[in-house]
Structure 1
Amino acid sequence: MGFLVILKDISTRGKRVHREGIISCINTFQIIATMVFCFLIALCIIGLGLFISDRMKKFLLSREDYFYILPDQNNSVINLPSDDRKLSSFSSFLSFEDWVAPPENLWHSMSDEELMWRASMAPNVAEYPYNRTPKVAFMFLARGRLPLGPLWERFFQGHDPRLYSIYLHCSPEFTEEPPESSVFYKRRIPSKVVEWGKASMIDAERRLLANALLDFSNERFVLLSETCIPLFDFLTIYKFLVSSKYSFISSFDDPRPIGRGRYNKRMWPTLSISDWRKGSQWFETQRKIAVGLISDRKYYPVFVTHCKPPCYMDEHYMATLVNKQNPEMNSNTSITWVDWTTGGSHPKTFLRRDISETFLNQIRYDSGNCSYTGNSSSSYSYCFLFARKFHPSTLEPLLKITPKLFGFDPKEYTN
């Protein structure tokens, strides 16, 4: 009997010890869980503090970056010591004119990607908050010096520089600078090698457009070669372009092998055969279309990959792109005259013996019926404003004819 009592007492004590052990474990777990929770809360608070601190630093630095890099392209600002750079950056923000003023120096160190990004910025407000005189940007794509440069000097001579701007894309090895009195002085942009029939030709055109777009006053953009000449005086051409509702990018559906025959089926579905267009490399366009041309990231890679000889990008890219992006804003014609009657891959080159007043007047007034004359409310009805290809030997006879061509007194100039 005593033995049974002892066993029962032991059992009771065991249960109590077991229950107390469980309670003790639970209490210990609760303490540990509470400590872990508090630790995690502390980490979250510390992390949040560091994040807020980092964002504030980036915000303050970004404000500095915006102020010093946007007003112009002059790299000397970027290379200033930090204290001087801060002073320069904030002082440049004081005046609204600093934001809209054209770059003082066309030379810069931006990559093509950086240049296109910056040039693609366009305000959504159509009205300009300042008195803006629209300019025509004359963009020359040349190998080196302009053999017909003296003719263009006469073309611009005496006209308000607020009406035009000039940009030169030359071979990188060409470093010759004209005299300060020249309208071409320091008008070269950072350039790269250009190969005929290659994508580098389109790259150069987009590079010219992007640099010209950095000047907010440029409204019309004309691509010219070193063999181009103007057919009329400056004011006639200026008024024609700024009064036009449309751009002048040659774009048409050519069913021949040199047109549709160059379409690559691998371009589908990005581009279909119905989208495909052919046109002239030498174009004139307005600002909105120019922004679209340098901002394109959808169609350009397709052309680079699939438009290989006998497909030439300079004959199809711009023509097809404007047909896709802004067909309602384009006249589908070119205002640069050229003679293709001799056949072959290149148009006829005109020599000294070809130049006469009669010949130029035929181009100016007897070039056929124009399907488009600029603005429906305009009194101008010229088919072409420029012409190519003119050999360097044509310079002297052209200079003799320009008094009648441009309407100035020949005594004002010397050959």
Structure 2
Amino acid sequence: MKNKQHQNPPPCFLKHFVNAQIQINKIITVFLIFVSGLALGITLSFYIKDTPLHIYTALAQAKTSLDSTVYKLVPVDNSPPPPPSPVNETKIATVPLASPPPRHPSPPQPSPPPPSKAAYVKPSAMHDMEDSELLWRASMVPKRSGAYPFKNDTKPKVAFMFLTRGDLALAPLWERFFKGHEGLYSIYIHANPDSGEPMPENSVFHGRRVPSKNVTWGEPNMVQAERRLLANALLDLTNQRFILLSESCIPLFNFKTVYNYVMDSTQTFVEAYDLPGAVGRDRYRKKMSPTIKLEQWRKGSQWFEVDRQLALGVVSDTSYFPLFEKYCVPSCYSDEHYLPTYVSIRFWKKNSNRTLHWVDWSRGGPHPSRYQRTDVTYEFLNKMRFGTTCEYNGKSTNMCHMFARKFMPNTLDRLLRFAPKLMQFN
């Protein structure tokens, strides 16, 4: 009886044993689920990482097709090509449908013809420009010598500008002077509109008269005529030196000597000096101040030789000349004061303060001495040529004047007789 009790466990023990088994089974089940989930997650992560690239390309194409009503797909051929990839891709770019269709390239336009050399090197003296347009156009030409818009083999020229009241009575002498030197000079004539007949066609003066206006001695319109001549001469880009002459002027040397003298000069030749008294400072007008002060007032000969820079300054001047037009009327004479005053204010460093024109004021009066036929002798002409001492390019010389005035028409025959030997004309 006692042994039977030991062999059969009590009911409470069985109950605890069953419960423990159930708990162990639950723990094992949860562990297996966790391990299975972890294994599945690791497997999926490797799978997603190795997903072929064409899946994403297909997705992008599907998305792009949704916008096909606004954009169209155009293959793009990139150069150089991309490196090879494991899958074939078609790269696409979007172009708005509203863009115009591609145009065929326009055929190349022919280059414009080069500027005409003749229009810049020897423009016609005749034109229909008014003074305002002429001065404006001349003021716009290049200031630099040799700045040509075309290939140019023309040598620099001297512009001989004749301011005359009537005919050029001494023209045959000047014809001898210019003979054989074509291409080294230009000629411009300003004469009263009602004066004289045109020069014959075989003359160097033919067709060289510029559009002119009446000029009155002592009035500002004389300076207007000088500016008109300068403006016309400036239109020829090869003119580099500018000489103002009258119908009573003669050359004292041959062309080659005159040409080299002015071309090689480092200075301009505008006579300018300060002169007290009735014919100097007393002509100054106080209303010109403060632009022009009394101490800047100068007097000198109107017959000048200037370079291109100074000529451009004169035709472009809108500060000083208007004051002379308004206030310098007789007994103030613009032709004796404007250019000397203007050059002394603006260009005094490069000016010689002397003129190249020999003239005799020893007899007194408002005008210099006039020479008749009997005055013309070999000795007298030689005195004009070498009878004065001056400075040229920093050195002393007795060649100071290239021209002389005032010679009357009846001197022509004697001048032609002496010129070949004395002046060595051709």
Q: Return the TM-score normalized by structure 1.
A: 0.72
CA contact 2:372–2:407 (8 Å) conserved in 1: yes
Query: Deviation per CA, 1:124-146, whole angstroms, max 9, x where unpaired?
Result: 65653544521000000112210
Q: CA offset at residue 230 of structure 1?
A: 0.3
Name the structure 2 match of 1:115: 134
The partner residue of 1:402 within 419, 422, 426 is 419
Name the structure 1 match of 2:113: 94
The partner residue of 1:157 within 164, 179, 193 is 179
The partner residue of 1:387 within 386, 400, 404 is 404
Aligned pairs for 1:207-218 (under 5 A) are: 207-218=228-239
1:196 has 2:217 as partner: yes
Name the structure 1 match of 2:9: none
Name the structure 2 match of 1:245: 266
Larger helix percent = 1
SS of the residue corresponding to residue 293 of structure 1 reads helix
The partner residue of 1:224 within 233, 241, 245 is 245
CA contact 1:234–1:406 (8 Å) conserved in 2: no
| CA distance, structure 1, for counterparts of residue 406 and residue 299 of structure 2 | 20
1:148 has 2:170 as partner: yes
| CA distance, structure 2, for counterparts of residue 147 and residue 124 of structure 1 | 35
The partner residue of 2:124 within 85, 105, 114 is 105
| CA distance, structure 1, for counterparts of residue 110 and residue 303 of structure 2 | 42
| CA distance, structure 2, for counterparts of residue 203 and residue 356 of structure 1 | 36
Q: CA offset at residue 302 of structure 1?
A: 0.9
Q: Give the counterpart letter for 1:155 in structure 2.
A: F
1:180 has 2:201 as partner: yes
Q: Quick one: structure 1 residues 213 and 155, their matched pair in 2 at CA, closer, same or farther if it must change by over 3 Å? A: same
| CA distance, structure 2, for counterparts of residue 365 and residue 106 of structure 1 | 35
CA contact 1:100–1:216 (8 Å) conserved in 2: no
Query: Deviation per CA, 1:314-369, whole angstroms, max 9, x where unpaired?
Result: 00000001111111121110010100001010001000010000000011111x32
| CA distance, structure 2, for counterparts of residue 131 and residue 149 of structure 1 | 29
| CA distance, structure 1, for counterparts of residue 425 and residue 274 of structure 2 | 42
Name the structure 2 match of 1:128: 147
User: What count of residue pairs does the alignment treat as equivalent?
Assistant: 315
The partner residue of 1:138 within 148, 160, 173 is 160
Q: Quick one: structure 1 residues 126 and 406, their matched pair in 2 at CA, closer, same or farther if it must change by over 3 Å? A: closer
| CA distance, structure 1, for counterparts of residue 340 and residue 142 of structure 2 | 26
**Larger Rg belongs to:** 2
Q: Give the counterpart letter for 1:355 in structure 2.
A: V
Name the structure 1 match of 2:3: none
Q: RMSD between aligned alpha carbons?
A: 2.1
Query: Deviation per CA, 1:186-239, whole angstroms, max 9, x where unpaired?
Result: 000000000000011001000000000000000000000000000000000000
Q: CA offset at residue 403 of structure 1?
A: 0.8
Aligned pairs for 1:263-278 (under 5 A) are: 263-278=284-299
CA contact 1:233–1:405 (8 Å) conserved in 2: no
Q: Quick one: structure 1 residues 124 and 247, their matched pair in 2 at CA, closer, same or farther if it must change by over 3 Å? A: closer
1:331 has 2:348 as partner: no
Query: Deviation per CA, 1:18-48, whole angstroms, max 9, x where unpaired?
Result: xxxxxxxxxxxxxxxxxxxxxxxxxxxxxxx
1:357 has 2:374 as partner: no
CA contact 2:300–2:337 (8 Å) conserved in 1: yes
| CA distance, structure 1, for counterparts of residue 191 and residue 425 of structure 2 | 30
CA contact 2:126–2:209 (8 Å) conserved in 1: yes
Q: Give the counterpart letter for 1:153 in structure 2.
A: E
Query: Deviation per CA, 1:379-414, whole angstroms, max 9, x where unpaired?
Result: 9751100000001110011110001133146xxxxx
Worse-superposed segment, 166-175 or 286-295: 166-175
Name the structure 1 match of 2:94: none
SS of the residue corresponding to residue 294 of structure 2 reads coil
Unaligned runs of 5+ in 2: 1-108
Q: Give the counterpart letter for 1:369 in structure 2.
A: T
| CA distance, structure 1, for counterparts of residue 355 and residue 311 of structure 2 | 16
1:369 has 2:382 as partner: no
Q: Percent identity?
A: 50
Aligned pairs for 1:57-96 (under 5 A) are: 94-96=113-115
SS of the residue corresponding to residue 194 of structure 2 reads coil
Q: CA offset at residue 256 of structure 1?
A: 2.4
| CA distance, structure 1, for counterparts of residue 315 and residue 209 of structure 2 | 19
Unaligned runs of 5+ in 1: 1-89, 410-415
| CA distance, structure 2, for counterparts of residue 168 and residue 192 of structure 1 | 12
| CA distance, structure 2, for counterparts of residue 116 and residue 137 of structure 1 | 17
Q: Give the counterpart letter for 1:134 in structure 2.
A: P
Q: Quick one: structure 1 residues 233 and 125, their matched pair in 2 at CA, closer, same or farther if it must change by over 3 Å? A: closer
| CA distance, structure 1, for counterparts of residue 118 and residue 202 of structure 2 | 28
